[in-house]
Amino acid sequence: MLLRAACALAFPGPINIPQEGVYWVTSVDGANRGLSGEHNYILRFPACGLPPNNAFWSLTMGNVKNRFVANSINRYSVSDRTGLVPNADSSIDIYIQNTTPAGCESNWLPRALW
């Protein structure tokens, strides 16, 4: 019951079983520093390394209250269904930053300063 309560607080709505939905959350970067709107981040998936599943996946950014982060193009997530463009080596970079990454707009999850 405690797990259901925690999930309901973090993600209001129906509770998914692990076969239907898994939600990973972080507030630190790869060097274990707190995420900051002052920095640009790249989330890299190696070739053939996108999240395995039988449905879809998405990357969504939330603020400290787990609400969507307002941004200039009203994009609140990127996913396997949003037209991500792979790199020449078939890896995929997702850019999490305030400014548009030149030539990589389709892989951009904009963020405002938080």
The amino acid at 113: L
Domains and CATH numbers, the chain: 1-114 (2.60.120.600)
How many residues in the chain?
114
The overall pTM is greater than 0.85: no
Tell me the per-residue pLDDT of 59-106, one tens digit each, with 9 for 90 and over.
988 877 888 888 889 999 999 899 999 999 999 999 999 899 999 999
Q: Could you tell me whether strands 108-110 and 77-79 are parallel, antiparallel, or unpaired per DSSP bridges?
A: unpaired
What are the helix and strand counts (H, E) for the chain? 1, 5
Residue carrying structure tokens 């709107």: 37
Instruction: Give dist(CA 96, CA 109) in Å, integer.
Output: 5
Tokens of 22: 């898994």
Tell me the per-residue pLDDT of 19-65, one tens digit each, with 9 for 90 and over.
677 778 888 998 999 888 788 999 999 999 888 877 888 998 887 78
